[in-house]
Structures are given as structure tokens and as C-alpha cells.
Chain A
Amino acid sequence: MTVLQAVVPAIQRTPVWGGWRVWQRNRDAVLRAWKVEFGGVLVEPFILLFAMGFGLGPYIGNMGDLTYAEFIAGGVLASYAMFHATFDATYGAYLRMESHHIYEAMLFTPMEPRDIVLGEVMWGATRSVISASAVLVAATAFGLVLSPWAILAIPVAYLIGLTFASLAMVLTATATTIGAMNNFFTLFLMPMFYLSGTFFPLERLPIVAQELAWLLPLTPATSLVRGLMTGQITPWMFAWAAELFVFAVASLFLASFFMRRRLLK
């Protein structure tokens, strides 16, 4: 008890605490409509892995030691983590901010813009974990998980979520219309989805394109998850995780800065 009494006030002074309050709000909102929110998230990975792995896979053959389905499972998990965090931190957050005035209400409480940004990012990462878990279950059901290391794909999905939700919040904090989100998807996320080694090994690309691909955060994310799910563990994983972390922290600060400028006029 005395430990709690000492620790809780200390935690309450950190920015994480305010973010957690915002996270709770989003959790409650989603739990009211969980059937709608999570029905698709849980079903889609089965369909995708089935179609790609068993429909397309036989025409493609093996990728090194891996079947095509085994090869793409990690990339699918990483991409799902990316998409679900991004959807919520772009369209979802923009709607909460502009149409529902939820941020305005929060600002009249001790919450500050940085708390809101952090809470939205933590929530985006939570959605990544939920969708990644669904992919992991589907991959396990299809026998595509080759190593117990795969369980670490869940915390990695949280990191991927932090990274992409933070990036998305930079956009949300600076967007003047919801249409700006569309460009983010068509010009940034989808190309990254195709070019970050999800569907084919990066080595297939020209060397310049490979180097550029490594600057995009989905590439280290995909490599990390694939390595964990197939048991191909390398020390490079620390560097990949560090790259995601740097993206996440830098975007978080940028998003907080822009959000403050947007909200406190």
C-alpha cells in the first residue's frame, strides 16, 4: 500500500497518465460498438492469408526456405498493425477533433494537447495489437508460425502501432480537411505496403529502391515480424526496433507541437 501511495502520484505527474485517461475514453467508446469495430478486424486476416497463401502461393513456389504463405504472414501482420493504427489516428482522430469537439471538451479539463496526442497514439497501438493478434491466430491456424519467438510479434505490433499512429497524428494535427487523409493513404501507406517486402523479398528491387525502402518504417517492421515468426533471429532486429522507436518518438514530439498550435489559439 505504501509503495502504491508513493508510486501512483509519481506516475500521475508523468505525461503517460493523461494519455491513459484519453486511452480509456477511446476504449469505452469502442467497447460500446465492439461487434462493428472488431468483426472485420478478426475475420479479414483469415481471408487474406487463405487467398494469398493457398490461392496465389502455389503459382509462386517457395521463397528460399519458406513457402509463400509462410513468407507473407509476417508482412501481413506488420501491415495490419500499420493500417489499423493509422486508420484510427487519421480518420478516427480527425472526426473526434473536428466533428465531435471531443478534444475541445478535453482541453477544458487538466488535459493538454500532448496528453491527447499521446492517448490517441497509445490507443492506435492498442488497435495494432488487436489486429496483430488476429493475424497471429489466423497464421497459427494455417500452420504458418514456425517459431515460438512469434509471440514477441505482439509487443512489436505495439511498437509498430506507436510509430504509425504518431506519424498519423502529425498529419491529423496539420490537416485542414479530411481529404488530406486520402492522400496519406494513396501516396504513402499503400506504396509502402507494396514496396516494404511484404509480398516479395526486397532484394528483388534495384539497389537504390532497396535503400530507399529501408528509410520507410514498414520495412524494419516487416523484417522484424517475419524474423520472429520464422525463427530467423538476427542482431539486426535491435537496429530495426530502434528505427521504429526513433520514428515514433520524433513523430510524437512533432504531433504534440502541431496539435498544441492547432488547438490553443
Chain B
Amino acid sequence: MQHSPAIRAESLFKRFGDFTAVNGIDFQIQRGECFGFLGPNGAGKTSTMRMISCVSPVSSGTLSVYDMDVRSSQRDVKKVLGVVSQADSLDPDLNVMQNLLSYGRFFNLNSDVARDRALEGLELFQLADRANAMPDHLSGGMRRRLLIARALMNEPRILVLDEPTTGLDPQARLLVWDKLNLLKSRGITMLLTTHYMDEAAHLCDRLVVIDHGEVLEEGTPAEMIRSHVGDIVFELRVSHTDKAGLIEWLNVSGIDGHIEDRADSVLVYPRNGSLSLDDLPIDGYQVTRRPGNLEDVFLRLTGRGLREG
């Protein structure tokens, strides 16, 4: 039997006065998949996430979570969601354990059930020895893990993560990814927003690239890389003064591929596998041959780098 999608959006809009943050997007998130919103700051990722979480009214279009309309069934929608927002909203007046228990009460959990789940969550997120600590005394990585553990208190069917690893050091980030992969393997549906391409590639089964409130592309990370970048990328690191000359050389040499100008390097995306290192003017340049990645996809689609912010 075909299940209805976990989340379905049709021509979804979010406007703030004259500003349109989400400009008529459509997407469906299937049950059990990890779905990513990939885009720069200000692309409309957070606005979409907040509409799904029922904390921001939909301007127009339809948006449903497990066939429940977010406009009319807020409480029921919120019961099946676990949300980790960008703001660090741990309660500074309560200790780690109390943070979880208090959150459980907002879902009307029986106190025994809440205690069991809190202990389980602390164990899973490697915080069991910090149960009595105050949040202010935790590291950034621990706080983030606690936020995720807190979002799991109601055993949500969908975990919504808004930039789950932004601001974490690489080690803390890997630990968060590890936990998220574990949750994924247990079958929870995940929706995450990120502006890290490697994060999207690492975690997402399927993703949309959005910018200026519109969906630019939808697919699996591998599909996107294959159709927009190809398997191989040559990256020539070049000084600013030499760059123009190199690009000209590449253009006249008739290389069968796309040439792209990046800040400190020139990229060559061969149209097929025929290009080899020998075809490139490797003398004097540091040339890397690497697989295409989502960052390449993103830059090809948007035609520019990530926005500052």
C-alpha cells in the first residue's frame, strides 16, 4: 500500500510584507527518508521549516504533515514533530535532566515515561554523566546534542533540524552526524536544512536546492552531481594575476568541458571522461583531480558562491 507522504507542500508561499521569503515551492517528503533543504542564508529554508513546525503562519498554498493541515491542526501536527531550531533555546534555569523532563511535560507525557525517555536520550547522546549539569556549563557540541535529545522526548515521527551543526567544531559535528545516522537507521523521517554541502551529502537521501525562496533542483545527491557536474572535476589553483591567462588558454585549447572561475582556482568539468591531467597545463599550477560534489552542483545552479551572513 502506498503511504501518503510525511510532509507535502504545494505552491507554498511565505511573505513578510513586501518581502517574499518562500516563493511558491512544492515538495514531498516520504516517510522514513532524510530530506534536505540546501541553500545559502536567506534562501527560505528556515521560513519553510517554521511553517512546517506551525510557528509561522502559511501565507498561501497548502502544507500538510501526515495529511494534517498545519493551519487547522497545529497541536496535532506539533505532537508528531521534534524540532531543533537554530536558536539555542535550552532552559538556562533548569539542569540537563530537568530540561528534558520539562519539555516532556509540554507534550503531556506521564512523568515515568518522561523520565525513561530522558535517561534513554542522555545515554544515546553521551550526556548521561552531565544529567545534573546546568546548560551553561556544557560545550557547544553537548548543547546541540541535548537540543536533539530534547526534540526526541515526544518520540516524534519527523525530526526537523534547522542547521544542526552550524557553529560546531569538526569533531562535535561528526558526533552529531553519527547520532543522526543512527536515528535514521531506526526509521525516523528527517528534514534538515543546511548550507554545508558535505552535510547534505552525508545525511540526505534526497534534497532540494533552494535559493531566493524557489526550488532550483530536486533529486538524490548522486543524481544531482551526475547531471550537473559529472564524475570528475579538475581544480587548478592559481594566483589572481595568472587566472585570466589560464582561463583564456583553456578556452582556446578546445577542452571539451565547462570551465568555471572560482575565487582562488579555476575548475574544469569535463563533459565526458576523456579528459586527463596531460591535457591540462599542469606546469606551475597545483592541479587536483577530484570527484564532483554538491558544492559544485550548488555553484553551477546558482552561478555564484554562498552568501555571507
Contact = CB atoms under 8 A, between A and B. Distances in A.
A21 B91 contact: no
A233 interface: no
A21 to B, nearest CB: 5
Interface string B45-86: 000000001011100000000000000001100110101010
Interface in A234-259: none
Interface stretch (A81-89, A108-116, A151-159, A199-207): A108-116
Contacts of B78: 108-110
A204 B84 CA distance: 59
Contacts of A105: 85, 89-91, 103, 150
Majority secondary structure, B binding face: loop
A264 B89 CA distance: 16
Nearest to B150: A105
B93 A29 contact: yes
Contacts of A21: 105-106, 108
B154 A102 contact: no
B106 A100 contact: no
A112 B93 contact: no
A46 to B, nearest CB: 28
Interface in A10-29: 12, 17-18, 21, 24-25, 28-29
Interface string A90-111: 0000000000111011111111
Interface residues of A, number: 25
A129 B301 CA distance: 62
Given A29-B93, A32-B93, A109-B78, A104 B87 contact: yes
Contact of A110 (B87, B89, B98, B108): B108
B103 A109 contact: yes
B102 A25 contact: yes
A20 to B, nearest CB: 9
Contacts of A110: 74-75, 78-79, 106-108
Given A102-B89, A108-B55, A263-B55, A32 B94 contact: yes
Contacts of B81: 108
A48 B89 CA distance: 39
A108 to B, nearest CB: 4
A32 to B, nearest CB: 6
10 contacts: A24-B102, A28-B102, A100-B91, A101-B89, A104-B89, A105-B91, A108-B78, A108-B85, A111-B106, A263-B55
Interface of B: 16, 53, 55-57, 74-75, 78-79, 81, 83, 85, 87-95, 98, 102-103, 105-108, 150-151, 154
Q: Which 6 A-B pairs have the closest CB atoms?
A: A29-B93, A109-B106, A101-B89, A105-B89, A108-B83, A110-B75
